Amino acid sequence: MKIKKVIFMGTPEFGVPTLAKLAETRFRPILCITQPDRPKGRKRRLQPTEVKIKALELGIPVIQPEDVNAPEVLEQIRALEPDVIVTVAYGGYLKKEIRKVARSGAINLHPSLLPLHRGSAPMNFTLFSGDEVTGNTIFKIVAKMDAGPIILQKKYDVQQNECFTSLYNRLSQTGADDVLESLELLENGIELQKQNHDLASFTSKIEKEDTFISFDMKAKELQNKVRGLAEVPGAVASFRDARIKIIELEILEDTSSGEAGSVSEFIKNKGLVLNCSDRKVLVTKVQPAGKKVMTAHAFQMGAQVKNGEKFGNGF
């Protein structure tokens, strides 16, 4: 069945490349649905979603219902007679009525190799787990979270020392092409592949306490956590009773020679060498509270960090 009418649903920056890509093709959305404007920043001013900004720039009509499953929203969608609903990080649950309103149903882009890393933080957990391969999965949405049959799955290598920010940007860009290919496959009647639910793993929303780190961790575990949180929200440690985010570090060959978190040495123009529970790590980028990301070398010079001083747990 030819797909002529597409409705797009998305909210953060991750969905923008897909919306922009679809707008360039015969799958240009006839409507964009995104979350309502929310207060942000210190002044708590209402801010539009990134997807809304892009949709208006492209001249695509936008609606922002508080409840996308409300009867009046469903009627508005039904009146458009959509062929498919494409969702990318929309941030809301779709009930059966809305999933079935489009002729080909609703499909979703999920940045993991489902059934691995179902849930709200797949890219963070990909890096926490130290996975060497990740990918995008486009699947038909069903009642159970991220459990629907797969239309298309593409694998991508995780780059050495890749952080959340770079993986987010990369999978959002490749995801746009993957969604486009999925629509063509769906149009041509591809046979969908069931997920093996026995292999499923799950992620959870990153809460404030999940960002706290400790140098009592093993170096590899610490590096994976830092990668999975960088640059936003950032892995939180403490120094001189103030918060500091560790943005980037490298694992050294040397075994630890002091108390976990203590400064072992300085490497000029590179950063701080700290002790972990097993190995030493070279911290190369940090973000002190209230400041921008900077090199650890610049921080060391400005704060006059001394050998033997200790970085503590996040709080």
From first to last of the 315 residues of the chain, give the pLDDT tens digit.
899 999 999 999 999 999 999 999 999 999 999 999 998 877 888 999 999 999 999 999 999 999 999 999 999 999 999 999 999 999 999 999 999 999 999 999 999 999 999 999 999 999 999 999 999 999 999 999 999 999 999 999 999 889 999 999 999 999 999 999 999 999 999 999 999 999 999 999 999 999 999 999 999 999 999 999 999 999 999 999 999 999 999 999 999 999 999 999 999 999 999 999 999 999 999 999 999 999 999 999 999 999 999 999 998
The DSSP call for residue 10 is E
Q: What is the pLDDT of residue 44?
A: 85
Q: What is the pLDDT of residue 41?
A: 78
Q: What is the pLDDT of residue 1?
A: 82
Q: What is the pLDDT of residue 210?
A: 96
The H or E element that residue 127 is part of is helix 122-128
Rounded-to-integer distance, Cα 164 and Cα 233, Å = 10
The H or E element that residue 76 is part of is helix 71-80
Phi, psi (degrees; rounded to nearest 5) at 210: -70, -15
Rounded-to-integer distance, Cα 225 and Cα 125, Å = 9
Q: What is the pLDDT of residue 116?
A: 98
Q: What is the pLDDT of residue 266?
A: 95
- pTM for this one? 0.94
The structural architecture, per CATH, of the domain 6-199 is 3-Layer(aba) Sandwich (3.40)
Fold adopted by 208-312: Methionyl-tRNA Fmet Formyltransferase; Chain A, domain 2 (3.10.25)
Domain ranges in the chain are 6-199, 208-312
Q: What is the pLDDT of residue 218?
A: 97
